[in-house]
Amino acid sequence: MPSKIEKKQAAAKLRKPPRDFSYTQNRELSWLRFDNRVLDEAFDESVPLFERLKFVSIFESNLDEFLMVRVGGLSDLAELKKQPVDNKSNMTASEQVDAVMAEMPGLLTRWESIFKSIEGKLDTLGVHRARVDSLTPEERTFVTRYFQAYVSPVISPLVIDPRHPFPNLRNGALYLACGLDGVTDEESLLGLIEIPASMNRVVEIPSPTGTYSYILLEDVILACLDSCFGSYKPLDRALIRVTRNADIDPDGEGVEEEEDYRQHMKRILKKRLRLQPVVLAVSGSLEKATLKTIRKALELSRRSVFTCDIPLNLGYVFGIEGKIPEHLRNELLFTPFKPQPNPTIDMTRSIREQVLQHDKLLFYPYEAMNPFLDLVHEAAYDPECISLRITLYRVAKQSRLCESLIDAAENGKEVTVLMELRARFDEQNNIEWAERLEEAGCTVIYGSEGFKCHSKICQLTYREGMALTRLTLLGTGNFNEKTAKLYSDFMLMTAHPGIGEDANLFFRNLSLGNLRGDYRFLGVAPVGLKPLIMRGLDREIQRALAGEPARVFFKLNSLTDREVIDKIAEASCAGVRVDMIIRGISCLKPGVPGKTENVHVRSIVGRFLEHARVYAFGVDSDMIYLSSADMMTRNTEHRVEIAFPVLDPTCRALVHEYMGMQSLEDRKSVV
């Protein structure tokens, strides 16, 4: 029998060593620093002025999603008696929410100040937004007439009193709020008007030739507010906008009996509009009593209320881009960008034949997506093509790709589409496309419960006599015509038999709900992706320990997976040089003596969204994988992702060249 001491020694061996937090940091705070880098683009005077305004809007949009998803989810966890602890910063959920809220005022002050600065400069150039407090007599006449003719018949002013309780304020919607004079001296009421989303938010005002003037719909209502509540007189006024928790787990909600998954997702989307508020944004001035009434109704603390003096929801700026006078466009906007044709592809010849001869690598948005779109369209009408299979995560609203899939099904091809309905904030569009594809005869399947399918893979199968050939198309980004013009991504087009066999097995496993497939060439999460990364890092560690040159290169959106972070630190300690380009979150601190001193991290934020994921091992990058997956636990363990090797020497050299250029980028990178 072992003694007590021996039992304690055995137990100690089984215990995990204490976490080392010296080279890690909190993901939420790292994300806020990323969004601040996005806002830096608005301060960069080398960027055209109106493009800078768009970055101000992107900063706000990013922050909205962060509050809905990350802070919303953490706020739920903060209600638990025993809160989980972040394994990178040792902070509880409530401590993380506190830290985020402490950072918010400074960020929002910076955001508000640069918006005002840019808008002031645009005004002097002839792009003028009319404000309620500075309307000219001509502008006021126009606004009043517009309100009476178009707005007044649509809006529904609401007085909140005991018979009319505080309504549900929809997530992200704009409302005008005001205190109202009651019918007695003691009575004070609250007035609310929802800004109608069905109307154009930007209202053009007649202006001299060569200029553009507009007023926002909410300001039209504000200018005419005194006539909206009958005998009640507005005492104060402001625009308000509630951001609600959107971190809802569709699989955790349960699919009701006799309810298909599409109907389940439609129900989830409606529920998202009514989840718990996270923050309240206020633009304007409200009396303390008015604001307190709103805040209490929403059950929000004072720290969750943010005030500003600029419009809420700056998404409208993209709608006025096309209205900028012609003579100002060159000064205010980027020179229109036209993707170049891929030099290795002849668009006058069959794309299929060219891929059979040689692997092709597309690099969006610098090269056009047309070769891929043409190939799928070509397959839809090719009598030798017998099947098309594809995973879709985010789809363009107007999708030539999906139209080709419909054509293929109508032409008798076997078309299988895995449509991921849980692509956050794109669910409705995906539902609509899934219904259209199914109606056309495509077999539409959905991801496995608890595991989003985030992989980007398409396979075309041809029968030539008795033989089958397969073309496999693998991407780092979505099969989306719109984002292919905005996001920096790779797509590999290959006829490699081994990759083709793996892809065929992958689709078969998906249809059976098997997430534990065994693949020769592909690294497939949730089982096979992280081991692939670990093997690559271990190979370089062994080289370094043997005194050989060793290097690892990663290009990622985010790095949060603790096991991968610890392995990178181990590689650094062994003498491996680790170079990383990480656009967004990095929970690893580089340059920590004795821990990560051989790790070098930079972030690139610019005109196009850096989206490609690259894993390269070896001083000469002799082993390169491209992937849809970031090094986040959600990707490596809780999603279906694919990493695919670049085996063709020409394509591998291109990746090496592209990443080399980005590693030398100084003007748009932060180290």
d(CA 39, CA 60): 9
Helix (H) or strand (E) holding 285: strand 277-285
608 and 488 Cβ atoms separated by less than 8 Å: yes
Residues 6+ apart with CB under 8 A from 127: 50, 211, 212, 320, 324, 325, 328, 332
656 and 621 Cβ atoms separated by less than 8 Å: yes
Strands 457-464 and 385-392: antiparallel
Side chain identity at residue 20, one-letter code: D
| Inter-CA distances, 654 with 169, 345, 458, 651, 660, Å | 51, 15, 22, 5, 10
581 alpha carbon, distance to own chain's centre: 18
Find tokens 């020497």 and name the residue: 649
Alpha-helical (H) ranges within 229-343 are 261-272, 288-298, 317-320, 326-332
Q: Which of 454, 496, 611, 656 is catalytic?
A: 454
406 and 439 Cβ atoms separated by less than 8 Å: no
For 322-325, the CB contacts below 8 A with 24+ separation are 323/204, 323/212, 323/214, 324/50, 324/127, 324/212, 325/126, 325/127, 325/210, 325/211, 325/212
Burial 281-315 (b: 16+ CB within 10 A, else e): bbbbebeeebbebbbeebebeeebbbbbebbbbbe
Q: Which of 582, 597, 653 is nearest to 620 (CA)?
A: 653
Helix (H) or strand (E) holding 110: helix 93-125
| Inter-CA distances, 418 with 31, 93, 266, 392, Å | 31, 35, 18, 6
Give the 3-state DSSP-derived string for 456-502, with helices as H, strands as E and coil as C.
CEEEEEEEECCEEEEEEEEECCCCCCCHHHCEEEEEEEECCHHHHHH
d(CA 214, CA 129): 5
416 and 389 Cβ atoms separated by less than 8 Å: yes
d(CA 421, CA 509): 19
Residues 6+ apart with CB under 8 A from 482: 396, 397
CA angle 400, 506, 561 (to 5 degrees): 95
25 and 89 Cβ atoms separated by less than 8 Å: yes
Catalytic annotation present for 164: no
Ramachandran class of 409: left when φ > 0, alpha when ψ lies in -120 to 50, beta otherwise: alpha
Catalytic residues: 454
